[in-house]
Amino acid sequence: MHTPVLLQQAIDSLDVKEDGKYIDATFGESGYSQEIMSRGGKVLAIDLDISQLKGHSETAHSQFARSLSRMTLKLVQGNFADIERIAKENNFDSVDGIIFDLGLSMGQLGSLGRGFSYKNLDDPLDMRIDVNSGETAADLIWRLKESELYELFAKNSEELRSKEIAHEVKISKKIISVSNLITAINRVIPYKSYNTYAKIFQALRIEVNDEFSNLRRGLEGAVKIINKDGKIVVVTFHSLEDRIVKNFVKNNNYKLSEKKPIRSKSGYKFERSAKIRAFSI
């Protein structure tokens, strides 16, 4: 079963009010949306990955239909970078709370065929969240010069051996699958370093999906549609994402609910790097 990361703490930070309007900017496997509805909120949910909406909308709908039929859930396939437009088109342009739970869900990471996980060796190296647009990770690696790939790895992963890894990747024959990339990394690190695999894969995924820039645009859009007392909550998994949120709040003099980000106390591996920041404008 899918366990959304920091579910209770994240939704507590949203401060859900009966009949309030909320945007779940990252619907995923519907856990957050369901929790908001179970606390009495109406939800507009967005996801860039159409298979997430198709796969999990039924659970969310039936769950809420069973409990409280007056609640609503609207689902939209789209990029949260366009949150202002999507909200206005769906009559959710003055909302009581917005939540972003960044990255990928556990189901997406484990799913075959996209190349998100270093564990699925036979997968093509695609990594696009929206499979209908943009460049795949394989094409990105092919297009970038060695120095650009090095910069990408160093910036997005802070992996110390980024330079050697970029070199090995570029001297390999065209990298098209997960196993091709793992083989190139292994030439730099001759033992299995799952931590390095995870960092390099995440660095590529961030670039392929323009994740940092989407987050900035998402925050800029969110502050235009939030009510004065509404909360914007962001769950991050990467130190650079957290920095973007922190600086955005600071530079605009918005009000953080807590000075320090909320972190998990559960000790679950997948929650360890998660941080929650909540703020109002």
Binding residues for S-adenosyl-L-methionine: 30-32, 47, 80, 101, 108
> Contact region for ligand SAM (CB under 6 A) — 57-65, 101-109, 196-204, 270-278?
101-109
13 touches ligand SAM by CB under 6 A: no
Among 23, 43, 104, 185, binds ligand SAM (CB under 6 A): 104
Q: What is the distance between the alpha carbons of residues 202 and 127, in angstroms, rounded to a whole number? A: 10
Q: What is the distance between the alpha carbons of residues 30 and 20, in angstroms, rounded to a whole number? A: 18
Encoded tokens for 265: 């106390």
Binding positions: 30-32, 47, 80, 101, 108
Among 9, 13, 79, 202, binds ligand SAM (CB under 6 A): 79
Three-class SS state of 190: coil
Element at 67 (helix H, strand E): helix 50-67
Nearest to ligand SAM of 80, 153 (CB atom): 80
214 touches ligand SAM by CB under 6 A: yes
Size of the site for ligand SAM (CB under 6 A): 23
98 touches ligand SAM by CB under 6 A: no
For residue 3, how many other CB atoms are within 10 A of its CB? Answer: 13
Among 28, 41, 221, 230, binds ligand SAM (CB under 6 A): 28
For every residue of 204-249, which 3-state class applies, written as one string? HHHHHCCHHHHHHHHHHHHHHHEEEEEEEEEEECCHHHHHHHHHHH
Residue with tokens 């967005």: 46
Q: Which residue is nearest to ligand SAM (CB)?
A: 28
Q: Least distance (Å) from ligand SAM to the CB of residue 186? A: 29
Among 55, 97, 103, 221, binds ligand SAM (CB under 6 A): 103
Q: What is residue 103's DSSP assignment?
A: S
Residues present in the chain in total? 281
105 touches ligand SAM by CB under 6 A: yes
Q: What is the distance between the alpha carbons of residues 22 and 253, in angstroms, rounded to a whole number? A: 23
236 touches ligand SAM by CB under 6 A: no
Q: Provide the binding-site residues for ligand SAM, judged by CB under 6 A.
A: 2, 4, 26, 28-32, 46-49, 52, 79-81, 101, 103-105, 108, 129, 214
